[in-house]
Structure 1
């Protein structure tokens, strides 16, 4: 069953809404970077030199940069919150700052323009600070030192990192002390563990661990509100995460319709199996306005990019209208992240990733949700409900969401080793890397034009083991039978990081997997593989069946519906599983159910009631999205 007409219109509008609060870059096109020497040589000296010049302990500078960008410069492209370079110097325009004043909790106008502040402190122009790695590091060091001085604390490269808690918290550009403290705590955790990685430009940076106990009393010096205290408020968040309750309206309007979610009593009225990762396709303030509109749709949480500040709108035990699939809504929690799936070359901030991981870990433990990519899913993994809705399903958070890094932060890394040979019948997990995995995409900014080169989270699947072979077909997205495309929104030929497939065939460096009922080929050399074999269970059509249907929801059989509740037709999608094919199991223990909620404040037995069926289904990995199959149609077997 689809939602009401007004809600259907709203769902359609969510696909690519207009950006509601944009970021003003200003200053015209950025100047060319002026970094001299090999990248590794620049990396080896830039942080040390900036630390000495501006009087910041080098471990502090390195850890702050890692917490902001993991030392990546993103080729001078802005983040989703208008930050540049490894130090994430921000450049929110004056009009945007004015627009935010007096509204939801927001950092000060000065902190939202640290690029300008860095320019004033260093004498470097803003274009250079955006694009020159060394200049950007110097700018960040200067801003950190200025925060330390403003708090009346000692400055110097040899000062103890323990004395920089307040300055680090200030650098978070947070709207509350709770969020600022969360950032500072992250920085000191990074400092204690140490870090080492190769950046997007090939820079090799190593930060040895430094054990230090920070002076957290400095937080009192910051002129920020305390923020919500989860133990004393309505929010369902971990104590270390700054959260605020901003309720979505449950109210009637106009013609007797209502919005914008449904009251429930989960898990009693349906267990929570999934956490769905969305992006907002707009600025946070406009999105917060939308979720407070009863005629619009809803989701459980919104997270701001600049500092990871989080608003909760719908209780976890209630059903938000966020996934475009009522069955998935019934069994999921939706989190909107400020950002864009394709716009330009913007990138999701490290604060967003880290705070989102904190929230998801908390929700997963609280609701017994497995921390894996079959249950922590993107909106782009949610299946269409019936054939007619497949083409309109969403594709956020998009190809630039770093699933590998995100799952690392969750403490549930994507499988990256093979304990079994990659051969016909084995299950493989896709892990192509991110920074070095630059795939051709088009139409991020202008239709038909190439997107800016940057790391992506997927590999393309082709119809034959050849780099020039056409991409695999998706009859749901291309009903005319045409080949897949490299359009940024066309996800029909992609295998994303963490997704699993069953190998159909191998030829040298090429691997074919079963994908949407056919073979899809990708290159995975043994010397540098993109897929890794692991044990697991697969589904295969039962003996004698030439074809098995797949479904976008696991609704009960007709006999399960009591009098007064209309039967919700079980309709197969346009795909099928052929004889000899196999697909990995995502979950064997999903509920076959339908939560009836169609009237305002409805009461059982006719409304706000869970209908449970006996016709068992399994969740499987199927193409670029998940799907469901009837247990009666398939056999479950260990992969070979």
Structure 2
């Protein structure tokens, strides 16, 4: 009997050949983009695997330098070189490469080179000798994140390895999917944020509770909650969480939502006043969405659906009308200088989801073997059957939302294994084989 496999970081070691740091820089191949050439050159010069460099860059910015504009944490460029009280990768890159900060900020090639120099320095400090083993770079990548704590560092680094596992094809840069077994080292003792099921979010079921620094919000409220404010992080999910935990930030939001799968982290209780809209903090709840206002690739359907479910839940609990007069973008609030969520945010679609409509319902695909395979609400055979799937011989089910190209179970197709139940929450359902668990929805 063949069990269902969910789409996770594949295991297995893969060795790559890296040039020594003193090797001559190879000329860019004919037809290669400037950014692709930058990654190749930097990888060769500083003995950092190209997959690591691209993985970090994609996790940080989707390989977009945003015209030299800073992130919320004061990070710049494709590789998000940062200058703040905790993360000083920008100044480190300048010192290691001899390049001025102005060039590292604005020029993609220099930015990639600077990040490679920093990663190389961290690898030296860690005593990393087998540079070609991608799995050995885990602690180095975690250090590059300069996360506020171990769980957040794991959140960041695991995302980089997911990028490496599925490969990249954007901005003229491409990497093949790599099967890697990360060597967690000291992080093996650190529980990922998503695994901390015992820590319940203060207000929203299913959210991860990871509180902001108490110096970045004010306890209590001076006004009744009447408005929900939609933000875009101008940075990555893990980076934003880490920034809100940094005492120097002096900003926070009640919730942060991940782009890839809609994971929700709550950082400030709704009864408390997060600092996200200046003079309007007292009566608002803030929801940050991973990404950048000028790059629509971050605004995934999973993010829209997860955020809409959260907003609808907040509105129901606080008696807030589900309309655009009470659910606003940061830019629409009084006395603001920010432009988020920007022109790429699909307000029509979002508000339809918030109000229970689904203008673009997901499409489901079933690949089944077995006669009358029962899908149950829990692993126990006594659990209720939520649907029955037809099929001839084996118990094997894939129920996936059509979307990004993925590889799983030996097949490559465009079905993505992230689904929700009828209430909009991420969930698991089970087939009659109690050892075979798959993501799914009761009504799919």
1:131 aligns with 2:106: yes
Match of 1:178 in 2: 151
* Contact map agreement 2:219 2:273 (CA 8 A) in 1: no
SS in 2 for 1:80: coil
Equivalent of residue 267 in structure 2, options 305, 312, 321: 312
CA distance in 2, matches of 1:62, 1:395: 35
Match of 2:219 in 1: 249
SS in 1 for 2:128: coil
Name the structure where helix makes up a greater proportion of residues: 2
Match of 1:167 in 2: 140
Task: Select the structure of larger CA radius of gyration.
Answer: 1
CA distance in 1, matches of 2:57, 2:130: 18
Equivalent of residue 334 in structure 1, options 275, 281, 286: 286
* Contact map agreement 2:213 2:247 (CA 8 A) in 1: no
Match of 2:55 in 1: 63
**How far did residue 141 of structure 1 move?**
1.0
* Contact map agreement 1:68 1:349 (CA 8 A) in 2: no
**How far did residue 127 of structure 1 move?**
2.7
SS in 1 for 2:198: helix
Equivalent of residue 329 in structure 2, options 360, 371, 379: 379
CA distance in 1, matches of 2:53, 2:93: 15
* Contact map agreement 1:65 1:71 (CA 8 A) in 2: yes
* Contact map agreement 1:242 1:310 (CA 8 A) in 2: yes
Aligned residues, how many? 298
**How far did residue 138 of structure 1 move?**
1.4
Deviations 1:398-432 (A, max 9, x none): 25x4xxxxxxxxxxxxxxxxxxxxxxxxxxxxxxx
* Contact map agreement 1:61 1:141 (CA 8 A) in 2: yes
Deviations 1:379-403 (A, max 9, x none): 2597xxxxxxxxx74667525x4xx
Equivalent of residue 44 in structure 2, options 39, 48, 52: 52
Unaligned 5+ runs, structure 1? 1-35, 98-106, 199-203, 251-258, 264-269, 292-298, 340-346, 383-391, 402-456, 459-495, 502-583, 591-640
Equivalent of residue 339 in structure 2, options 385, 395, 398: 398
* Contact map agreement 2:255 2:265 (CA 8 A) in 1: yes
1:88 aligns with 2:80: yes
SS in 2 for 1:72: coil
SS in 2 for 1:231: coil
* Contact map agreement 2:207 2:265 (CA 8 A) in 1: no
CA distance in 1, matches of 2:307, 2:111: 35
Match of 1:504 in 2: none
Match of 2:179 in 1: 211
Unaligned 5+ runs, structure 2? 1-27, 235-242, 258-262, 316-321, 358-444
Residues 146 and 321 of structure 1: is their aligned pair in 2 closer, same or farther, counting only changes over 3 Å? closer
* Contact map agreement 1:72 1:85 (CA 8 A) in 2: yes
The TM-score normalised by the length of structure 1 is 0.37
Match of 2:309 in 1: 364
CA distance in 2, matches of 1:116, 1:323: 28
1:300 aligns with 2:225: no
The TM-score normalised by the length of structure 2 is 0.51
**How far did residue 165 of structure 1 move?**
0.9
Match of 2:401 in 1: none
* Contact map agreement 2:211 2:268 (CA 8 A) in 1: no
* Contact map agreement 1:278 1:334 (CA 8 A) in 2: no
CA distance in 1, matches of 2:128, 2:276: 49
CA distance in 1, matches of 2:74, 2:294: 10
Residues 113 and 321 of structure 1: is their aligned pair in 2 closer, same or farther, counting only changes over 3 Å? closer
CA distance in 2, matches of 1:279, 1:68: 12
Aligned pairs for 1:542-621 within 5 A = none
CA distance in 2, matches of 1:134, 1:313: 38
Higher normalized contact order (CA 8 Å, seq sep 6+, divided by chain length)? 2
Residues 216 and 363 of structure 1: is their aligned pair in 2 closer, same or farther, counting only changes over 3 Å? farther
Match of 1:276 in 2: 230
CA distance in 1, matches of 2:154, 2:185: 11
CA distance in 2, matches of 1:287, 1:121: 26
Aligned pairs for 1:462-477 within 5 A = none
